[in-house]
Amino acid sequence: MNLEKFQQSMYELIVETSTNLPKDVRRAVKAAAVRENAGTSAAMSLATITNNIQMADENISPICQDTGMPTFKVKTPVGVNQLQIKEAIYEAMIEATKNGKLRPNSVDSLTGENSGNNLGAGTPVIKFEQWEKDYIDARLILKGGGCENKNIQYSLPCELEGLGKAGRDLDGIRKCIMHSVYQAQGQGCSAGFIGVGIGGDRTTGYELAKEQLFRRVDDVNPNESLRQLEEYVMKHANELGIGTMGFGGETTLLGCKIGVINRLPASFFVSVAYNCWAFRRLGVQIDPTTGEIQEWFYQDGEEIVFDAPQQEETKSESRTFTLTAPITEEQIRELKVGDVVKISGRMYTGRDAIHKYLMDHDAPVDLNGQVIYHCGPVMLKDEQGEWHVKAAGPTTSIREEPYQGDIMKKFGIRAVIGKGGMGPKTLAALKEHGGVYLNAIGGAAQYYADCIKSVDGVDLMNFGIPEAMWHLQVEDFTAVVTMDSHGNSLHEHVDKSSLEKLSQFKEPVFS
Average model confidence (pLDDT) for the chain?
96
Residues 105-123 have pLDDT tens digits of: 999 999 999 999 999 999 9
Band the pLDDT of 314: cuts 50, 70, 90: very low
Please, are residues 178 and 498 in contact by the beta-carbon 8 Å criterion?
no
Beta strands in 81-163 (DSSP E): 125-131, 136-143, 152-155, 158-160
Number of neighbours of residue 478 by Cβ within 10 angstroms = 18
Hey, what amino acid is at 412?
G
pLDDT at 423: 97
Alpha-carbon separation of residue 51 from 58, 423, 499 (angstroms) = 11, 30, 32
* Rounded average pLDDT over 379-385: 93
Residue 420 above 70 pLDDT? yes
Pairwise CA distance, residues 63 & 83, whole Å = 31
Go through the chain and tell me how many residues it has: 511
Pairwise CA distance, residues 27 & 305, whole Å = 9
Residue 311 above 50 pLDDT? no
Give the DSSP letter string of 176-217: HHHHHHHHHTTTT-SSEEEEEEESS-HHHHHHHHHHHTTS-T
Pairwise CA distance, residues 213 & 217, whole Å = 8
Band the pLDDT of 143: cuts 50, 70, 90: very high
Task: Using CB atoms within 10 Å of the CB of residue 93, give its burial: 0 to 12 exposed, 13 to 18 middle, 19+ buried.
Answer: buried
Count of helices and strands (H, E) across the chain: 14, 20
Band the pLDDT of 334: cuts 50, 70, 90: very high
| Strand pairing category for 415-418 and 371-373 | parallel
Residues 6+ apart with CB under 8 A from 304: 23, 26, 27, 30
Band the pLDDT of 316: cuts 50, 70, 90: low
Strand order across the beta sheet in which 125-131 lies:
125-131, 69-77, 136-143, 280-286, 293-297
Residues 477-510 have pLDDT tens digits of: 999 999 999 999 999 999 999 999 999 999 999 9
Hey, what amino acid is at 284?
V
pLDDT at 307: 78
| CA angle in degrees (0–180, nearest 5) for 237-240-246 | 105
pTM of this prediction? 0.96
pLDDT at 312: 43
Residue 318 above 90 pLDDT? no
pLDDT at 313: 41
Residues 28-54 have pLDDT tens digits of: 999 999 999 999 999 999 999 999 999
Secondary structure (3-state) at 380: strand
Please, are residues 477 and 418 in contact by the beta-carbon 8 Å criterion?
no
The stretches of 329-482 forming alpha helices (DSSP H) are: 329-334, 352-360, 404-411, 424-433, 445-451
Number of neighbours of residue 127 by Cβ within 10 angstroms = 13
Pairwise CA distance, residues 78 & 334, whole Å = 68
List 342's β-bridge partners, or say none. 322, 478
Write 42-46 long-range contacts (CB < 8 A, 24+): 42/243, 42/244, 42/245, 42/247, 42/248, 42/249, 42/250, 42/251, 43/249, 43/309, 43/314, 44/340, 44/480, 45/244, 45/245, 45/247, 45/441, 46/244
DSSP 384: T
Tell me, which fold does domain 318-495 have in CATH? fumarase (3.20.130)
* Least confidently predicted of 187-201, 280-294, 310-324, 408-422: 310-324
Number of neighbours of residue 218 by Cβ within 10 angstroms = 11
Please, are residues 491 and 372 in contact by the beta-carbon 8 Å criterion?
no
Cis peptide, bond prior to residue 326, ω within 30 of zero = yes
Residues 236-260 have pLDDT tens digits of: 999 999 999 999 999 999 999 999 9
Residue 315 above 90 pLDDT? no
Residue 17 above 90 pLDDT? yes
* Rounded average pLDDT over 291-320: 80
pLDDT at 317: 66
pLDDT at 485: 98
Residues 6+ apart with CB under 8 A from 87: none
pLDDT at 260: 98
Pairwise CA distance, residues 366 & 242, whole Å = 37
pLDDT at 463: 96
DSSP 13: H
Pairwise CA distance, residues 327 & 408, whole Å = 13
pLDDT at 309: 58
Q: Where are the domains of the chain?
A: 1-144+281-317, 145-275, 318-495
Please, are residues 106 and 115 in contact by the beta-carbon 8 Å criterion?
yes
pLDDT at 121: 98
